[in-house]
Every structure is written in C-alpha cells, then in structure tokens.
Structure 1
Amino acid sequence: MATWVPDYLGTGFEQTTFELVGDQGDDAQEASTPSEELVATLVRSLPVRRSLWQKLTRQTRDFEEIDVLYVHGWSDYFFQKEFASFWTSRGARFFALDLRRYGRSLRENQVAGFATDLEEYDAEIDLAVAEIQSDQKPGKPPRKFVLVGHSTGGLVLSLWAARHPGIADALVLNSPWLEFQLAARARQLLTPIVRLGARYTPLDSTPLLDHGFYSRAQAEVGPRSELEAVNFDWRPEQVRTVHSGWLAAVLEGHELVHRGLGLEIPICVMLSARSVFPTKWSDELTRADSVLDVDEVAKAALRLGESVTIERIDGALHDIFLSAESPRQQAYERLERWMIGWKEATARSER
C-alpha cells in the first residue's frame, strides 16, 4: 500500500510517489543525469462519504463503485480540481497520474516530458492501476475502471489499453492526439525523416511555432481560480521544446492507431466542433481547438475499437474542460449522459 501525503491542490487531494527503476535506453540516459531520480506521481481525490440518511434509505450516487484514472497531455500536468469534483461529487474515486518528467514528477536537470517510446509509460500506469485496485474488498464485485486521457495522454492510454486488454472497462478521451495535424499521408512522409533524426540526435529540437495563444485563450475564458493557480514551471505558457526522439515516439503511436487498436471497451471521444490554426491572435481562438485538427482526430478515433462515440462541442478549446462556461457545462452534461448510459447498459448485461 502506498503512503499518501497532502497534495498542493489543497483539501481533498493527496499524492503518492512511485520510484521508477528499470531499463532505460541510450536516448533516455542522454536526456538525464547519470543518477536521475525517475519518479511518477499519483494524485487522488476521494468522494465524500454518504450520509447516514443516504445509507439508511439506500441512496446511491450515479458513479458509485467507479474508479477513474486521468492522464494529462504534453507540456502539462494535473491541476483541474473542477474536473475531479465532477467525478467525486457523483461517487467515483478520482486519480490522476503525473507521468515521469512531468509536473510533480519533474526533477532538476531532467529534460521535461522526454521519452523515446510511449510504452515507457506502462511502468507508472501499471503501478497506478495496482495501487487503485489494492483495496478491493474480497467477495464484492470489482469496481468499474475508467481511463480518461487528454491530448497526448489520450494517445498514451489508448495504446496502454490495447496492450492490457481486460483491465479498463471504458475509455474517455478529451481531444486525444490520435493523428498528426497534417493527416495520415503527411505523417507517413514525415515519419522516416523524424526517425532518422531521433536515431542519431534524439534531443535535437524540431521546428515549433507557439505564440502562447492557446494559453491566452484559456486565461480569457476558462475557470479562473484553477488557471490562476497553475505552476508555470510545470505548464509553461508556451509549450516546451519538442525533441526529435519524443516526436518519433508520438508518430509511432499515431501509426499504431491508424492500423487499428481493436479495443473492445466502449469509448467516448470529446472534441471541439472546429479547429483554428493561429497565425495571429483573434477571439476565434477562444472558441476552437488551436492545437489539433479535430476532423482528422475524429476520423482516427474510429480506428480505436468497435464501439466509439464522438461528441463534438461547439465553442470548445483543445482542453474541452478549460473552455468557456457554456461549452464547458455542455461537455460535462454530455459526459454525464454517456457515463450513465454506459453504466446502465453494463448493469443490464451483467444481470
């Protein structure tokens, strides 16, 4: 059992740290110090216990007996208290994982977010799952397990679920990065070049134009209290340098999705209704995804598995749950509807 300590998010949030020991390739060693402290951090928020009256009258909340594991995107970490509250207020146990070299897990002299294979993250995801399931009560039906991933985290969890069938019961994706911005054909042309660079100079930076417009859009329309408390050492206003080794790993993940993952669990993919690729600031950037091509992602999502629901949210940003109030609330309503439908359908089939 892990040792839990208070998290910086305050009341209701705790964290535990996993020490990661294992084989690291030459590229990973080059990205770190010889004595690198490689860790991952699991944050949890547990639901308030049911009142005595609720117990006596056998009242249950919609997401009782559900565990949720959330994984963040690139140049990011978990800080979304409102999103956690959505789950815990309905009875679910919420967990969020800051992957190695991200957020709470980032250590001095490490190359933030660096990895040369997305399968590296299996180690901390496996540890998180083991901890989440460690207090399962004997003789009781296992709690349902829902994976939730944003952007690159959505790609990471989709690939993990494909390699670990039978563990997760459902997959929820918030603007997952399932395809390159220039579509599959462009990715296939670009991949050999990126792989060559990654082989010889994995830490070389790749061209990236970011004026900080996405961060500005969030700051103008998103939940103010959360965004004002963001740690900019962990989540810079302009995204971190993209290295060729990391980009090659992502493109390999895109190729695996393109071939089809064959997931048998129900999947909900939430996307903005439109994309805008910024060349200069405009108010339109506060009502669209300025990071991904949402139409290409929607096409790629259909290759994840046999049961995929795609929800398009008008006016949403790249992180759907950091959008303006109206699209954000619509997203929560759609997510709740999907989850309740999935839960009821699952219960009927089990009966």
Structure 2
Amino acid sequence: MTDTRKAPRWKPDVLGGQFEQLTLPLKPDVEGEVVATLVRYNAMRPLDLRTLPADGADVLYVHGWSDYFFQTHLAEYWRSMGARFYALDLRKYGRSLRAHQTPGFVDDLSIYDEDIEAALDAMGHSAPKPGPKVDTGTRRPLILMGHSTGGLTLSLWAARHHGRVRALVLNSPWLEFQARGIGREVIAPAVVLGAKVAPRAPLPTVDLGFYTRTVSKKFDGEWDYNSEWRPQRGFPIHPAWLKAVLRGHGTIAGGVDIGAPVLSIMSARSTISLVWSDAMLSTDSVLVVDDIAVRSLRLSASVTVERIDGAIHDVVLSAEPVRDAAFSAMTRWLRGYLPR
C-alpha cells in the first residue's frame, strides 16, 4: 500500500528573508489543539575553506518565559560558525500560541519532551529506537542552546536523554529561584497547595516591565518584536506552572549529568529592584547571576561559566559591544570544547 501522507511543509516565516517555519502538531490537551513551531535559517555556509568552530553541527535554540524566537543575529552567528540553525517556539508561545490557550502554561516541564522530539525529528535527529542499532546516516553533532526558562527546560531534557547532545550552550539559564534554595523551600508548600486547588489561578504580577525597558526599541533597548508574543510585563503566572519550575530547580540543585560539555554565559552582575535603575541597562534585572553561575556547575563534569560585563538578562540582546564579547566567548569555547 502506498503511503499517501504528505510531508510536513515549510513556509515563509514572520521574520522574512531566509527564515522558514514548520508547524509541528502535538497531542491535544485540556485546552484543545496544541502545536509547536520550528524555525530554520536557510543561509548558505560561509565560503571559507577553513574548518569552522561548529562545522557540520545542528543547533536547536529554545526561548525563555514570555518570549519567542526573533533574534535573527543569533541565527547569523551560528551560521558563521558553520552550523545549521533552528529555533523552537514551544507550545503556547509565540508562533505556537492559539487564542484558546493559557499562554506558556504547562504543569510539568517534561511535557516539552514532545515539542523537542518533534523538532529534532524534523531536523533529522530522531530518538534512537529500541533493539539492534541501525545506522540512520545522521552524523551531524547536535548542539542545544537555551535562554532563561528554556535553559532550564533543555538542561533537564538533556539529563533525561543522556548521550543525545554533543554540547549545551546556556544564555542566563533560570537554574535557581531568585530567593535561592532556602526561599524555594519556604514558598514550595503554598505553591503545591495552590497547584492542587486552583492550578490555573493567576498569581500576583512580579514583572514590573523593567526588563522590557532594557530590550524594546520603544523604550531604552534596540529591538523590535511582536509585543503580543512578548508582552511588556510578561504572561500571568499560575501555581501549577510555578510548581513545575521549582521542581526543576530542585532537580538541578541535586545535580544532574547531561554527559556533554556545557557553556553557561551570563551577565557579570544583577540588579534586582522594585524601582527602576539605569544599572539595569547593563546588568541582569531578572535573575541573580551569582546563583545561576553556581547552579551551572551541577550540570556536567565539564562546565564553563562566562561572565560578560555589561550584559542584560538575554545576553545576545545586550548593547552591540557586549554581545560581540559574548559571541567571541562562545567562539573560543566552541574551538576548545566542541568534540570533533
């Protein structure tokens, strides 16, 4: 019998140019239809006879909370390193968000395994099948890159799928609660109770819009993006989602091993305040970077921490000299630690 199923169809992406997107159907949940969206960058490999630091690799990038992929210069950087670049808008974020859905909501971070596997399958990195090993012809190294909550999600995924990843690059990963482990333990009982009684109840807003002020071209930043997909004060948070994040933090605090080298890149300093400060334009105004640096060391036997002076929370959205320094640090690390 002939298989009449149509192959997934790539179409032009909202970013235009050489970007395309692919809708990845997922299993419906209680809110109905669920999809993820894979974005790829189709630029040719640089005309360079030298071996580039990430030659032949595939990169999958995952965004943070209340976010989506729009950082075209990040795709250009990875292509200049010789890699093929993909980005994933997780379910209920960005390109994948539908009107009937609670933005960003899941009650377990492992739910994203389905999104990630669907993306990897479309990239040619399907999960190994049980039984005798079969040569699939795939030889391209897989590099994962995650920002903030995406960094937490990918770290947990890589630990559960030991050996699938050649390297992990983290951009200000949210690996610990802002009030540290003690604060996490203090609020956990109330969060667990709230997740049981009213899992989707909105919690008090903690985002005052300061981080958006450092990023958006409408304020003091230099970036244009879809403000419905990346709202000024973030999406509402809910007890069941926060419980899932705190559980992830606890897992990282206990130590995991992703079985591959890790680069964790972040700002040199944090400015956590209830009032605006110009210092937020050159520091992380979302996470406590000292705690993130410490927690990064729990991910693998080989971890490099790079502290970038002047960086904001999303390091690659910092001022141009700062992000250039970040890309230089990434390039040095790739040359030294990406296994051939």
Query: Is TM > 0.5 for Structure 1 vs Structure 2?
Result: yes
Structure-2 residue corresponding to 1:42 = 38
Structure-2 residue corresponding to 1:187 = 184
1:154 matched to 2:142? The reply is: no
Measured in 1, the distance between the counterparts of 2:155 and 2:77 equals 22
Percent identity for Structure 1 against Structure 2: 48
Structure 2: unaligned runs, 5 residues or longer: 1-6, 127-134
CA contact (8 A) 2:27 2:33 kept: no
1:16 matched to 2:11? The reply is: no
Pairwise CA distance, 1:221: 5.7
Measured in 1, the distance between the counterparts of 2:194 and 2:230 equals 26
For 2:144, give the aligned amino acid.
L
Structure-2 residue corresponding to 1:116 = 107
Measured in 2, the distance between the counterparts of 1:90 and 1:147 equals 15
Pairwise CA distance, 1:134: 5.8
CA contact (8 A) 1:278 1:285 kept: no
Scaled by the length of structure 1, the TM-score of the pair is 0.88
Q: 2:206 aligns to what SS in structure 1?
A: coil
* 1:108-151 alpha-carbon deviations (Å, 9 max, x no partner): 1210000000000000101111111269xx79671111000000
Structure-2 residue corresponding to 1:6 = 12
For 1:9, give the aligned amino acid.
L
* 1:172-208 alpha-carbon deviations (Å, 9 max, x no partner): 0000000000000110121121011001100112223
Pairwise CA distance, 1:61: 3.3
1:93 matched to 2:90? The reply is: no
Structure-1 residue corresponding to 2:67 = 76
Measured in 2, the distance between the counterparts of 1:199 and 1:4 equals 40
1:277 matched to 2:268? The reply is: no
Structure-2 residue corresponding to 1:254 = 249
For 1:187, give the aligned amino acid.
R
For 2:38, give the aligned amino acid.
L
1:218 matched to 2:209? The reply is: no
Structure-2 residue corresponding to 1:65 = 56
Higher helix share: 1
Pairwise CA distance, 1:50: 5.6
* 1:308-330 alpha-carbon deviations (Å, 9 max, x no partner): 11000111000000011121111
Q: CA RMSD in A?
A: 1.8
Pairwise CA distance, 1:278: 2.5
Q: 1:258 aligns to what SS in structure 2?
A: helix
* 1:87-123 alpha-carbon deviations (Å, 9 max, x no partner): 1122210000000000000001210000000000000
Residues 134, 165 of structure 1: alpha-carbon distance in 2 compared, 3 angstrom cutoff? closer
Residues 149, 215 of structure 1: alpha-carbon distance in 2 compared, 3 angstrom cutoff? same
1:163 matched to 2:129? The reply is: no
Q: 1:296 aligns to what SS in structure 2?
A: helix
Pairwise CA distance, 1:282: 2.0
Residues 141, 243 of structure 1: alpha-carbon distance in 2 compared, 3 angstrom cutoff? closer
Q: 2:157 aligns to what SS in structure 1?
A: helix
Measured in 2, the distance between the counterparts of 1:331 and 1:49 equals 22
Structure-1 residue corresponding to 2:326 = 331
Structure 1: unaligned runs, 5 residues or longer: none
Residues 295, 49 of structure 1: alpha-carbon distance in 2 compared, 3 angstrom cutoff? closer
